[in-house]
Structure 1
Amino acid sequence: MDIKRYSENAVTVYIGDEISEMVNKTLVNLKNELESRGIEGVTEIVISYTSLIIYFDIFKVRGEELEALFKEIDLEALEGQPFEYKLIEIPVCYGGAFGPDLERFKEDGLSPEEVIEMHSGTEYLVYMLGFMPGFPYLGGLDEKLFKARLDNPRTSIPAGSVGIGGKQTGMYPFTSPGGWNLLGRTPVPLFDEGREPSILYEAGDRIIFKPIDEDEYKAIEQQVADGEYEVNITRREAE
């Protein structure tokens, strides 16, 4: 555990330098341990690939206190500790106007049907959220689907777009520029201020994509607008 201070209101803890499921699990357990202690003054805890950042109110707790707290925690005990995570099913309409880059995988010897089958047949680990609120960086992509980012990024990608960038897959919660290869789009809002929670997933959770056709997309879109759609979420325990 390597502890660093980069600002007066944040402490960063590094757990090695390798991106792995074990590191992610340790970071999630560390976050859960800290939250269970109800430390006054802590405003937010954020997980990245190999680190955890605690943001705090400098008028309620000192950085030195948090650093001392980290040194008290048995990291090895946390590594083997199970925790509950959510498996979130995200419906995706692949190809066509929703996934203009699906056809690009033909240059890799893959048909659109093969890409859809491989991409939707996996439970992806949420390593972290970044780039924008609700954008998940997902691990577990089949190496046959690895695809370099576009040489010329698009200036506008629709919210809900699902894509591949290098060795990762992810989703765009908002309309924004981007250079990922777009496979499809989900009608489910990935960030919704009127929903509790506003983001359905966090680091340590899993996401699985469910293929739907355009008629199903429109039906779900209407259900979302009417406040009648419920995302399929199941709770599981990480071993």
Structure 2
Amino acid sequence: MNNSCDKQVMLMGVEIVPLGDSAITISFGNKIDVKIHEQIHQFLHVFRNLNVTGVVECVPAYTTISIFYDPKKITYSQIEKIICSTFQDAQEVPEIESFVYQIPVYYGGETGPDLGFVADYNNMSEQEVINLHANKEYLIHMIGFVPGFPYLGGLTDKITAPRLERPRSKIPAGSVGIGGIQTGIYPREVPSGWRIIGITPLRLFDIENEKPSLLSAGDHVTFLPVDYEEFINIKKRAAAKKYEIMTYKKGGNGYD
């Protein structure tokens, strides 16, 4: 790393390191934090708009960005220099507009088998768990694990719960779970060690769509409790592509 870049990123608490021979990782810290999340997305907003020749993909995570590149088209030192120059411009980026997606959830029942455990573990009723989990905005820190899976930040510590000692071999697509201090939605049928408290009738990932993943890092999710009848109704409408998910701009006053 050149000296000027070294001083600049050190002042920001940022570390730039190679990842193999065709990628570079930028670390913004070591804890899940809203401020770090904002720094990551301000940087990505500027860097992606540069359309750097040779850059294959940018992958944001909780505290890092990994940039994959073609070493035949751009060298490590060249991309490092571009990264360093991007930091200054990124600091001048205003708050990036984001949207809140309202996800209907049927809590409990056969498709929410761990709701009772989470309630007992935290010495409260199942309805109290639902009230605390729903109707608040969760930041989508990143999409990962499987395509379309949102890692959500903002779960209250009042309803955290330990993972299962023995993960289930599979859970239904749409399952909503809690794992430690995190909550998320499973877009497809997969194994899981999280506590499953409900299910959404919406399809979070559809390869046939122009935008396969319904949700994106930087946006937000809020959960809307629905009863079983409404769950079935929405599921039928969503399958026929006749259900329009409610969204609104973060900080706005109404739905789009």
Residue of structure 2 aligned with 1:229, choices 243, 252, 255: 243
Partners in 1 of 2:170 and 2:90 — Cα distance? 46
Q: Which runs of 4+ in 1 moved over 4 A?
A: none
Aligned residue number for residue 97 of structure 1? 110
Residue 73 of structure 1 aligns to a residue in which SS? helix
Alignment of 1:73-222 (within 5 A): 73-75=86-88, 78=91, 81-104=94-117, 105-222=119-236
Higher strand proportion (structure 1 or 2): 1
CA RMSD, Structure 1 to Structure 2 (Å): 1.8
Aligned residue pairs, count: 238
**Does residue 1:50 correspond to 2:63, yes or no?**
yes
Per-residue deviation at 1:75?
4.9
TM-score by length of 1: 0.93
Residue of structure 1 aligned with 2:52, choices 39, 50, 56: 39
> Do the aligned partners of residues 107 and 6 (structure 1) sit closer, same or farther apart at CA in structure 2, a change above 3 Å counting?
closer
Residue 100 of structure 2 aligns to a residue in which SS? strand
- Cα displacement string for residues 89-130 of structure 1 (whole angstroms, at most 9, x for unaligned residues): 111110001101011122421111111111002100111122
Per-residue deviation at 1:200?
1.9
Residue 99 of structure 2 aligns to a residue in which SS? strand
Per-residue deviation at 1:79?
7.6
Q: Which has the higher contact order (CA 8 A, sep 6+)?
A: 1
TM-score by length of 2: 0.87
Note if contact 2:42-2:93 (Cα within 8 Å) is conserved in structure 1: no
Deviates more, 1:72-81 or 1:138-147: 72-81
Residue 84 of structure 1 aligns to a residue in which SS? coil
User: Please, which runs of 5 or more residues in structure 2 have no aligned partner?
Assistant: 1-13
Deviates more, 1:168-177 or 1:228-237: 228-237
Per-residue deviation at 1:147?
0.4
